[in-house]
Structure 1
Amino acid sequence: MTVLVVTNDFPPRQGGIETFVRSLCDELPDVVVYTSREAGDVAYDATLPFPVIRDRTSMLLPTARSTRRAVQLMREYDADRILFGAAAPLGLMGPALRRAGARRIVAMTHGHETWWAGVPGARQALRRIGDAADTVTTVSSWCAEQIAPALSPGAVQRMRRLTPGVDSGRFHPGCGGQQIRQGLGLEGVPVVVCVSRLIRRKGQDTLIRAWPRVLQAVPDARLLLVGGGPDRGYLEELAVRYGVADAVEFTGPVPWAEIPPYVDAADVFAMPCRTRRFGLEPEALGIVTLEASAAGKAVVVGDSGGAADTVRHGTTGYLVDPYNPAAVGARVVGLLTNRQDREALGAAGRQWVEAEWGWSRSGEVLRELLDV
C-alpha cells in the first residue's frame, strides 16, 4: 500500500505547507515523493528515510509529461494510493492516475484553493479535481466554507478536515529561548516574536506601525522578526520611518529545524495576518500560532481566513483587527505589562495543543482516508 505523494510543497523549500506535507510523510508506513527541483534538495533528500524523485523543473505542473512520470513512479514503486500535497493544480492529474490503477486519491487544500473557488475557469478546474478525488481535505472550517460552493454535491459530501499537527516535544517552554536571547543581546528585555515569511499578508508591517505605541508603555520592548522574504527591505525602511529601527531585530531566514528556540524566546507571539487582494489571499490557518501555544506563549493573531481556528480568543490569546495598528499595539502592551495574564494564556494554549493538535491525530485521519 505505497503512497505516492505528488507535490510542489516540500523541503528544503520553507513554508507552512511544506512542513505540513513533510510531516505527514512520517505518518505513512510506505511513501515515495514526486516533487519539484529546489536549491539544496540533493543534500536534504539524502537525510530522508524514503525516496524522493525530483522533477527537472522548479515548478511541477499537471502537464502530459509530468503526469506520465507520475504514472511511471506508480508502477515502479507499486503505489496505488495518491496524495496531492496541494489540490490545485496538481489534482488535475487525478483521472489519469486513476486509470493507471490508483485505488485512493486524497487532494489536500490550503489557502490558495479558496481563490480558485471564486475565479471562473479556475473554479471549474477545482470542481474537476474534487470529482477525481476520493476526498478533498481542508485545513480549517473557513477554508471548507469557501471551497465547498465550487465542488459538486458528491465531492462536498466526501470533504474532510485534515489539519497540520504540532510536535509539542519540539515546541515546549524552555526549548532554547534563553540561548537565542543571549545570542541576540535581548536578555532582560520584553520580547515579542513573529515567525513567518516577510510578506504583506503576515502583518509584520502592522507590528512595526504599532511599535511606537508599544514603546510608550514598555520603553525597552523589542520586536523580533524571524524569517526571510521579499519584504525585508520594505520593513527595514518602515522601521526607520516610524523611529523604531533600534527596537526591531531581523534574523533573516532560519531553517525549520531551528525554529523552536526562536519561538521560545518570546514573551508574546504576534502575527497580525490579514486577508489581501480583495479576499483572494487569506491566511488559511497559521500553524506557527499553534506552535507558539505549544511553547507556552500567549498569542496575538490577525482575524484572517482560518486563523481564528488557531486561537481561543481570551483563553489562549487574542484575535485582533489586522488593519488596526492601535488595537494590535494595545493587545501587545496589555500582555507585556501583565505577566500573570500572559502566562495563564500560554499554559492554556499548551494544554489545548497537546489535547487536540497532535500529529498522531492528523496521521490517523490521513491513513483512514487513504485506507492504509
Structure 2
Amino acid sequence: MHKTLIVTNDFPPRPGGIQAFLHNMALRLDPERVVVYASTWKRTREGVEATAAFDAEQPFTVVRDRTTMLLPTPAATRRAVGLLREHGCTSVWFGAAAPLGLMAPALRRAGAERIVATTHGHEAGWAQLPAARQLLRRIGESTDTITYLGEYTRSRIARALTPEAAARMVRLPPGVDEKTFHPGSGGDEVRARLGLTDRPVVVCVSRLVPRKGQDTLIRAMPAILAAEPDAVLLIVGGGPYEKDLRRLAADTGVAASVRFTGAVPWSELPAHYGAGDVFAMPCRTRRGGLDVEGLGIVYLEASATGLPVVAGDSGGAPDAVLDGETGWVVRGDAPAETAERIVVLLGDAELRVIALLSDEELRRSMGRRGREWVEEKWRWDLLADELKTLL
C-alpha cells in the first residue's frame, strides 16, 4: 500500500498559516496512508500537553521529535529513515523545503520513490543568500518536485535551482475550507461580546509581527476616524509585536478605537473574521527581501467569509486578491493609501462618490465576488487532489 511520510516543523498545535496548510492537506489524504514526523511545539508542560492532545485527535499517525526545531541532522535523518522503513512509506512530502529537504538523498536511498518539497516565503529569501542558495540547489537536485505558492515565489526560487529542477516546479498553494469560513460564521456574537455592535469594524487576523503591517493600520486610524468616528480596528492574534503595537496606538491617540483580542482558538477564527466589515492586512517586505509574504491565506479566508480585503504588496500577497474585484492591494508602508481604501469601504460620503457605489453595495459586491473566487479556485479538495497526484 502506498504510504506518505510527511516531514515538517510546521504542524499544529503550533499556530500559523503554513501549519494550517499542511494540516488541511494531510486531513484530505487517506489517513491509513499518512505518517507525520514533526517537531514538538513547546517544551513547557502546557505545550507538551497541548501537542499530545492534538496528536491523539488526528486520524493518522503523528510522531514527534523532542526538539522544538527539527533540523536535517544525522540523528533526525536516521529517525526519518527509520519511520519510512517501519511504516513502508514510498513517498515523502517535506512541508517546507528548507532546510529539511536536505534529508532527501538519505530517504531516497532508504526506498522513497517520490519526494516532494513545498516552498513558502522563506525559501524566496534563502534564494537571495549565496550559501542558502546552494542548499536550495541541492534540495532541488535530490527531489522530484518543488512546489511553489505563486509566480512571485516561483521566479525567485527558480533562480537558485538547476534548469532541470526549475522545470519540475509545480504550483501548490494553500486552500480555504469554504464550509468553515463563510458569511454568517458567528460574527454578530463576537461583536456583541466585544461591545462593537453597530460600529464599523476593520478586522486584521494574523500573527503580530512587523511584516504583517498592523502598525500601518494603526497609523491609518486617525484618517479613518476623521471620516468614520465610530470605526474600530480589531486586531486578532498574538505575537512578539503586541507591546509595540499597543504603545503605537497610545502614541497615535487611537488606543480607544483599537481592540486587541490576543491569540484566538482556531475554532473561533471564522467568527472573528465575520465580526469585521472590512479585512485589512497591509503586509510589507522587510530585510531586503528576506522577510516576505509568501501568499497570505488570511485574505482568502476573509473572502470566503464575504469580506472585501485590503492587502499589502509584499511578495505573493497580491496573488490572493483580485485587485478591484475582491479588494485592493496597497503599499504596505503607506498609511494614507490604506486609510483611503478602508474609508471607501466603510462609506465616507465624499469618497463614496468617487467609488460610484455606496459603502454597503461596494462591500457586498466585493465580498460576493471573493466568495465566488474561493469556491472556484481555492477549495482544499481541489488542491489536495493536486498533491495526491504529485505523491
TM-score, normalization: structure 2?
Answer: 0.94
Aligned pair 1:176/2:186, yes or no?
yes
Partner of 1:26: 27
Instruction: Specify the code of the residue in structure 1 equivalent to 2:38.
Output: T
2:377 to 347, 356, 361: 356
Separation in 2 of the partners of 1:242 and 1:353? 36
Tell me by how many angstroms 1:342 deviates: 1.2
Q: Aligned partners of 2:23 and 2:265: how far apart in 1?
A: 14
Following superposition, the deviation at residue 75 of structure 1 comes to 1.1
Letter of the 2:292 partner, please give it: P
Offset, 1:25? 0.3
Deviations 1:63-111 (A, max 9, x none): 0000000011011111111000000000000000000000000000000
Q: Does 1:88 align with 2:134?
A: no
Residue 110 (structure 1) aligned with residue 113 (structure 2): no
Match of 2:250 in 1: 240
- Residue 17 of structure 2 corresponds to 16
Amino acid of the residue matched to residue 16 of structure 2? G
Q: Residue 203 of structure 1 aligns to which amino acid in structure 2? A: G
Letter in 1 for 2:224: V
**1:310 corresponding residue in structure 2:** 320
4+ residue runs over 3 A deviation: none
State how far apart, in whole Å, the 2-side matches of 1:49 and 1:79 are.
Answer: 17
Counterpart secondary structure, 2:159: helix
Q: Deviations over 1:316-370 (max 9, x none)?
A: 0000011110010010000000111111000000001101101111111101100
Alignment partner, residue 35 of structure 1: 38
Matched, 1:332 2:342: yes
Report the count of equivalent residues. 370
1:232-271 aligned at under 5 Å gives the runs 232-271=242-281
Quick one: which of 41, 55, 61 aligns to 2:65? 55
Q: Secondary structure at the match of 2:279?
A: strand
SS of the residue 1:344 aligns to: helix
The one-character-per-residue Cα deviations of 1:42-82 (angstroms, maximum 9, x if unpaired) are 11111111111000111000000000000110111111110
Match of 1:227 among 231, 234, 237: 237
Deviation at 1:273, TM superposition (A): 0.4
* Match of residue 345 from structure 1: 366
Amino acid paired to 2:373: W
Deviation of 1:256 (Å): 2.0
Equivalent residue letter for 1:354: E
- Which residues of structure 1 form unaligned runs of 5+? none
SS of equivalent to 1:251: strand
Following the alignment from structure 1 to structure 2, what is the Cα–Cα distance between the partners of residues 283 and 257?
24
SS at match of 1:32: strand
* Residues in 1 aligned to 2:151 and 2:268: alpha-carbon distance in whole angstroms: 30
TM normalised by structure 1 equals 0.99
Instruction: Flag structure 2 segments of 5+ consecutive residues without an equivalent.
Output: 42-46, 348-358
* Secondary structure of the corresponding residue to residue 299 of structure 2: helix
Distance 2:40 2:380 in 1: 27
